[in-house]
């Protein structure tokens, strides 16, 4: 049943909550085994990059069984986390809808770039048929050329096998495909950079407070708690985060986990290791195992928020669009 439920393309993490109920009916050692077996089974069913969260407890009106009494505090904390998670669903639903708009918009823009590039590769007079075959055979090179020329993210590109099948089934000439429209591409970029982030701010709880530095240099690590918002990075914070990246990277375009992990652990000792792991997952937007400057800035910001507001801050399951760097749209 669970396999059929997750067979669609919907993001399972945003729509399903897993609860291990009646956990008080077994002793702690048995509960550990049951939880491990459940996580292993879920890993076979849920095709997600992150381990799914399982809420452990006894969710009914009866008193806790004596077998699980020693886990009573754990059950109470898990219950609180689950309630807070459910309370956040309305805002999460709105964010998912906006993120889906962003995803489709980026995909449409990349599709236009690819189609325009293919059209420009076609000869005007002779050799069209052989050129089409060559384009289909070298589609991977075309994808890479489009990515480099337009500074696009590899993860946003369509599935190459499906795209190749569509091209092979196309009955006309690639020369007849629509050409790229610079004005439309610019309008789409404007929507991604301005319109959609503005739309995010309309979601309850996502509006960032105004910040005034009074002309003085702003240090985000000395800022008062009231001026730190998880959902947005203001211009002053971004400048300081970028300076940190330049110092740590020594000119390198990306930082691997072997550099980021010890740096964050040293600079943010108040951030627990499990939260640092979650921050890495949120910040590694490209999922390439390294952080470039925009991704590193996101990681610094989240660590800063937790340091100021405490380790009980609830990090989102997916990176909010308001924190998504424009280069990752």
pLDDT of the residue at 69: 85
pLDDT of the residue at 291: 93
d(CA 13, CA 274): 18
pLDDT of the residue at 233: 81
Residue 93 CA, distance from chain mean position: 15
Under the banding of pLDDT at 50, 70 and 90, the label for residue 204 is: low
In tens, the pLDDT along 51-108 reads: 677 889 888 878 888 888 888 888 888 888 888 878 777 666 766 777 778 888 888 8
Least confident of 115-119, 126-130, 296-300: 126-130
Least confident of 33-37, 186-190, 274-278, 318-322: 318-322
Whether this model's pTM surpasses 0.85: no
In tens, the pLDDT along 215-273 reads: 444 444 444 444 456 767 877 788 888 889 988 988 888 999 999 999 999 999 888 88
């Amino acid at each position: 049943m669970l396999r059929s439920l997750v067979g669609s393309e919907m993001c399972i993490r945003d729509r399903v909550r897993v609860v291990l109920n009646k956990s008080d009916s077994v002793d702690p050692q048995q509960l550990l085994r049951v939880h491990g077996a459940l996580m292993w089974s879920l890993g076979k069913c849920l095709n997600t990059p992150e381990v799914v969260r399982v809420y452990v407890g006894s969710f009914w009106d009866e008193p806790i069984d004596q077998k699980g009494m020693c886990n009573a505090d754990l059950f109470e904390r898990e219950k609180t986390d689950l309630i807070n998670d459910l309370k956040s669903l309305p805002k999460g639903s709105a964010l998912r809808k906006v993120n889906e708009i962003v995803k489709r918009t980026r995909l449409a823009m990349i599709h236009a770039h690819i189609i325009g590039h293919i059209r420009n590769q076609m000869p005007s007079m002779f050799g069209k048929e052989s050129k089409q075959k060559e384009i289909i055979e070298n589609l991977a090179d075309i994808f890479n050329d489009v990515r480099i020329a337009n500074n696009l993210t590899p993860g946003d590109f369509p599935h190459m096998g499906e795209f190749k099948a569509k091209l092979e089934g196309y009955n006309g000439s690639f020369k007849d495909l629509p050409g790229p429209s610079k004005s439309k591409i610019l309008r789409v970029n404007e929507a991604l950079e301005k319109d959609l982030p503005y739309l995010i701010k309309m979601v309850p709880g996502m509006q960032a407070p105004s910040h005034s530095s009074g002309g003085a240099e702003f240090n985000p690590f000395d800022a008062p708690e009231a001026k730190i918002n998880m959902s947005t990075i203001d211009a002053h914070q971004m400048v300081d985060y970028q300076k940190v990246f330049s110092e740590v990277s020594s000119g390198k375009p990306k930082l691997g986990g072997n550099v980021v992990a010890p740096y964050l652990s040293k600079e943010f000792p108040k951030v627990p290791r499990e939260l640092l792991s979650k921050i890495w997952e949120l910040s590694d937007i490209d999922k390439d195992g390294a952080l470039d400057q925009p991704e590193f800035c996101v990681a610094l910001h989240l660590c800063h928020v937790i340091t100021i507001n405490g380790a009980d801050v609830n990090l989102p399951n997916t990176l909010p669009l308001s924190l998504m760097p424009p280069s990752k749209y």
